Chains A and B, each alone.
Chain A
Amino acid sequence: MVFVCRKEHFNAAHRLFNPSWSKEKNEEVFGICANEHYHGHNFELIVIVKGTPDEDTGCVIDLKKLSKLIHSEVIEKLDHKNINLEVDFMQGKIPSCENLVVAIWEILAPKIADIAYDPHARLHCIRLFETQNNFVEYYGEW
């Protein structure tokens, strides 16, 4: 098994806010991240695919195809957007990094095998950096 990794990035605004809580409760839990006027980040997204290198190509997956898939399904929807207001797959969810990686996983996981050389290749991990020091990882349901 080989892990093939693709790094992408997007810049977006968001706020952490639970609509079923009061303003005071949101500020208590989320602090400055609850700012009603939003704030933003340079997000870095790493998508890791697990598979066996194909004999004919020596590759698990065509990284150009993987990059195009991530761009069309994820990056174009998030880049230079307000995640709370504009991103269809995050509506009704708090746009924390945790919720973002799970949503990105659900979008990409069913589409990996279709573009891979290895028919058994599958999504292994979604890693999302919100800042250089804060990042989350999701490996799907175990």
Chain B
Amino acid sequence: MKIKVCRKEHFNAAHRLHNPAWDETTNQKVFGKCNNPYFHGHNYELIVEVVGEINPETGYVMDMKELSDIIKTHVTERFDHKNLNLEIDEFRNLNPTAENIAVVIWNILRKQINSQYELKIKLYETERNFVEYPA
């Protein structure tokens, strides 16, 4: 019997959407105000979902404190109060859209969470806009 356990975390960051292969006009047309060269920012809400069997000895899928520590160490402490474009290596050559941020976070956490568990990411950029990976 599989069950999903979920941990919610937050980080606040600045970013801009920009494709360096395009000229200024195209970037402005496609990304609009999100292309602002001076950046803007969001309160991101990250939900990490782990799917697995319940361990009969603990009653847990995994220890949520352990999951929380992994997310904090590998994601939120790196991303919180940062400029995603300028300060996070993974976005040096990758546009920090909510989609790409979710995939980056999944790739980071996948290495830290035992492969016996399925891993899913929900990332809210605003209350109304959020992405899920894998779909």
Asked if B109 is an interface residue, CB under 8 A from chain A, the answer is: no
Asked if B15 is an interface residue, CB under 8 A from chain A, the answer is: yes
Which chain B residues lie closer than 8 Å to A96 at the CB level?
none
Asked if A40 is an interface residue, CB under 8 A from chain B, the answer is: yes
What CA separation (Å) do A38 and B40 show in the bound complex? 9
Which chain B residues lie closer than 8 Å to A40 at the CB level?
12-15, 39-43
Interchain CB contact under 8 A, A35 and B42: no
Asked if B80 is an interface residue, CB under 8 A from chain A, the answer is: yes
Which chain A residues lie closer than 8 Å to B12 at the CB level?
39-41, 131
Interchain CB contact under 8 A, B83 and A38: yes
Which chain B residues lie closer than 8 Å to A35 at the CB level?
81-83, 87
What CA separation (Å) do A81 and B35 show in the bound complex? 10
Asked if A33 is an interface residue, CB under 8 A from chain B, the answer is: yes
* A-side interface size class: 20 to 34
A26 to chain B, nearest CB (A): 13
Interchain CB contact under 8 A, B36 and A42: no
Which chain A residues lie closer than 8 Å to B39 at the CB level?
13, 38, 40, 82
Given that A11-B41, A37-B82 are contacting pairs, would A80 and B14 also be in contact in the complex, using a CB cutoff of 8 Å? Answer: no
Which chain B residues lie closer than 8 Å to A82 at the CB level?
14, 36, 38-40
B78 to chain A, nearest CB (A): 12
Interchain CB contact under 8 A, A33 and B81: yes
Which chain B residues lie closer than 8 Å to A12 at the CB level?
40-41
Closest to A38 in B: B14
Interchain CB contact under 8 A, B41 and A13: yes
Which chain B residues lie closer than 8 Å to A11 at the CB level?
40-42, 126
Interchain CB contact under 8 A, A41 and B36: no
Interchain CB contact under 8 A, B42 and A80: no
B18 to chain A, nearest CB (A): 13
Asked if A79 is an interface residue, CB under 8 A from chain B, the answer is: yes
Which chain B residues lie closer than 8 Å to A132 at the CB level?
43
What CA separation (Å) do A131 and B86 show in the bound complex? 23
Asked if B34 is an interface residue, CB under 8 A from chain A, the answer is: yes
What CA separation (Å) do A14 and B41 show in the bound complex? 8
What CA separation (Å) do A106 and B102 show in the bound complex? 40
Asked if A85 is an interface residue, CB under 8 A from chain B, the answer is: yes
10 cross-chain CB contacts under 8 A: A13-B40, A13-B83, A33-B81, A39-B13, A40-B14, A41-B41, A42-B42, A79-B33, A80-B36, A82-B39
Task: List A residues at the B interface (Cβ < 8 Å).
Answer: 9, 11-14, 32-33, 35, 37-42, 79-82, 85-86, 131-132
